[in-house]
Structure 1
Amino acid sequence: MPTPIRRIIHIDMDAFYASVEQRDNPALKGRPVAVGHCQERGVVAAASYEARKFGVRSAMPSLIARRKCPELVFVSPRFDAYRAVSAQIHAVFSRYTSLIQPLSLDEAYLDITHPLLRRASATAIAEEIRTSIFEQTGLTASAGVSYNKFLAKLASDHRKPNGLFVIPPGMGEAFVAPLPVGTFHGIGPATARRMNSLGIHTGADLRACPLDILKHHFGKAATFYYGIARGVDNRPVEANRPRKSLGKETTFLQDLHTESELVQAMAMLASQVWTACQKREITGRTVTLKLRHSDFTQLTRSQSFPQPVQNEAALQQAAVRLLAPLLPLSKPVRLLGVSLTGLVVPGQIEADRQLSLLP
């Protein structure tokens, strides 16, 4: 029996945080809204579509957002409210499939190749999901339907907001061809700039580039790029996908200038990360330092260890060692972050060690 063609839906809520705020406060409806803090070091977490018309975007410094849109209304984030709505949304998903891969509170892939509820088509299921979400939450969602994850996500972006778009089998390569590579999920701004410098601007340009050339410039990621240029993406929808990292970062109200200030901030972040590890009963083997200067230049440094980090002190010491080669500071620091990857369950470490000793 031939393998059935996969049917993947990508659901993405429209301006989720801002839409929740506009729903819960009618005075905000129709107004440009930014979820975040209007402070010197504040950052926009989300922007309503009214704000986006002025060029306001998530991750934009609040002061720049205010300059772009003087009428912008800032609202403090309410993550408990967003999580509650997200639970409602995921309850809708679970009626149709158990293969759900959340990407965030407001975004997920659904594999409905073998749906729990039979409908005429994947498109009919996607439309039913959007309708149910609106009926239960008062919020709109956009959906993309296709035969793999990459195309489903492109499709959901194609008719935003409150849209539905389908890329049927056999049409992926043609759909991708005219699109800028910077719009492809999995190709970030830095990679897009590198591709542009090589004359790769669109999906068609990427398809025309030989695999060995892509490997020379982009290493292991080249195979993925080669595939998506042809509408090919074999990644499965991973239900209950394990967490890959735990981290904390903070943007300071005042730039940090001295080693003592950085070490003190690092200790606070390491403590927060370790608390999160203990809560989840996990640890990790790789420590990463993230540092952003006052001019927004950014760097990261990582170190992996043969054995997982054992305690908060060890995590802090590892982060401080990563910082040491960067001192003395060439520029003030506005943001600092510490994260732990290569996550493992402590109990499993000892079990693996015992197994390794068996003849």
Structure 2
Amino acid sequence: MSRKIIHIDMDAFYASVEQRDNVELRGKPVAVGAAAARGVVAAASYEARRFGVHSAMPSVTAFRKCPDLIFVRPRFEVYRAISNRIRDILAEYTPLIEPLSLDEAYLDVTDNLKGMEVATEIAHEIRSRIKSVTGLNASAGISYNKFLAKMASDLNKPNGQAVITPKNGPGIIENLPVKKFYGVGPVTAERMHRLGIERGADLKEKSAEFLTQHFGKSGTYFYNIARGIDHREVQPDRERKSIGVEDTFAQDIFELEPARQQLAALVSRVWDHCQSHAISAKTLTLKLKYSDFRQITRSRTRQQPFATATQILADADELLYLEHPFSKGLRLLGITMSSLQAIQDCNETQMALPL
């Protein structure tokens, strides 16, 4: 049976929220992030994007491209609250919602709660509801599978929607640069280019054996999407694998004590996130990046999930201590929690006593 999949994607979400809440920012190039020398752009308004500013770009590069760029500190608690309101709107149409992040999600509306037969009408109504409730614009892609719905949501951005049907899908895929394929990152795109794969048509010419040889398990995925094939279902109960935070420092850190102070702040942030989502974790990973950009990670796994921020900090401190004295100045520290469990499950595990 042909499915009806919608991909909802908020337009420049973080930056749009800041422009909505501050009249003085409207119509101006805005970046959400840190303006410090080693800061990074988390999101850019469409006015900023016209200058070539985009997410994950170093702040210094963003300023070079757009000297009038206005940096705004992120307010993630606000973004999460708005994301929850948007999620409530989506739930009015289907229980089959798979969030990808705070600002985008897949919906399967094949059988929907409104009894609407046309997916494009559902997408239009959802976008109108989001606009009326939050004052923000959303774009949508509609197709018969997740890959094509994701691709379609980019075709008429911002504040638009597009449909990819079984009839026009092959032509769109063949003409699309592989670097724009969902699941093809910059490194993979460069590898494809070296193999003479520039567009979807080039990818389609390659055999499954060839793609598996060069890209491993991902080769099968690339073989299928080049033909518009994607059997993945919308998974409303998709579990999060990990929670992580990191900071890049304005100046390199050489001594243990200031590094420990930065580590304590990271632990506090990640534990607050765990508590707000009622989860904990068994595995802690410490990430260190040195001034020469060399990066290492050190992990520790407990038999029982962490119960307090103090426990996390104690283990993180010990991992950090083992790396001191630092071979170079520390440019970045990060903390990631994995092997996640719900708090209730954690409590039940901790209460189990050997008899």
TM-score scaled by length of structure 1? 0.84
Q: Distance in 2 between matches of 1:42 and 1:268?
A: 17
Query: How far apart are 1:87 and its partner, in Å?
Result: 3.0
**1:257 and 1:329 in contact (8 A); partners too:** yes
**2:305 and 2:346 in contact (8 A); partners too:** no
Q: Distance in 2 between matches of 1:25 and 1:323?
A: 41
Query: How far apart are 1:41 and its partner, in Å?
Result: 2.9
Q: Does 1:301 align with 2:297?
A: yes
Q: Does 1:57 align with 2:77?
A: no
Q: Distance in 1 between matches of 2:343 and 2:124?
A: 44
Aligned residue in 1 for 2:248: 251
Q: Distance in 2 between matches of 1:213 and 1:303?
A: 36
Query: How far apart are 1:19 and its partner, in Å?
Result: 1.5
Q: Which one is further off, 199-208 or 176-185?
A: 199-208
**2:285 and 2:297 in contact (8 A); partners too:** yes
1:158 alignment partner, SS class: coil
Structure 2 segments unaligned to the other structure (5+ residues): none
Q: Distance in 1 between matches of 2:314 and 2:216?
A: 32
Structure 1 segments unaligned to the other structure (5+ residues): none
Aligned residue in 2 for 1:148: 145
Taking a change above 3 Å as real, the CA distance of residues 309 and 131 of structure 1, as seen in their structure-2 partners, is closer
**1:147 and 1:169 in contact (8 A); partners too:** yes
Taking a change above 3 Å as real, the CA distance of residues 143 and 278 of structure 1, as seen in their structure-2 partners, is closer
Aligned residue in 2 for 1:94: 91
Q: Distance in 2 between matches of 1:238 and 1:249?
A: 28
State the Cα RMSD in Å. 3.1
Q: How many residues align?
A: 352
2:179 alignment partner, SS class: helix
Q: Distance in 2 between matches of 1:186 and 1:79?
A: 26
Q: Does 1:188 align with 2:211?
A: no
**1:291 and 1:333 in contact (8 A); partners too:** yes
**2:282 and 2:306 in contact (8 A); partners too:** no
- Could you give the per-residue CA deviations for residues 127-183 of structure 1, whole angstroms, max 9, x where no partner exists? 111122222332221110001111111100111111111001244333212222211
Q: Which one is further off, 203-212 or 46-55?
A: 203-212
Query: How far apart are 1:317 and its partner, in Å?
Result: 6.9
Residue pairs, 1:140-289, within 5 angstroms: 140-258=137-255, 261-262=258-259, 265-266=262-263, 268-270=265-267, 272-274=269-271, 276-277=273-274, 280=277, 282-289=279-286
> Which one-letter code corresponds to 1:91 in the other structure?
D
Query: How far apart are 1:255 and its partner, in Å?
Result: 1.4
Q: Distance in 2 between matches of 1:88 and 1:278?
A: 20
Taking a change above 3 Å as real, the CA distance of residues 282 and 17 of structure 1, as seen in their structure-2 partners, is closer
Taking a change above 3 Å as real, the CA distance of residues 216 and 326 of structure 1, as seen in their structure-2 partners, is farther
**2:38 and 2:58 in contact (8 A); partners too:** yes
> Which one-letter code corresponds to 1:202 in the other structure?
R
Q: Percent identity?
A: 52
Q: Distance in 2 between matches of 1:322 and 1:216?
A: 38
Q: Does 1:136 align with 2:133?
A: yes
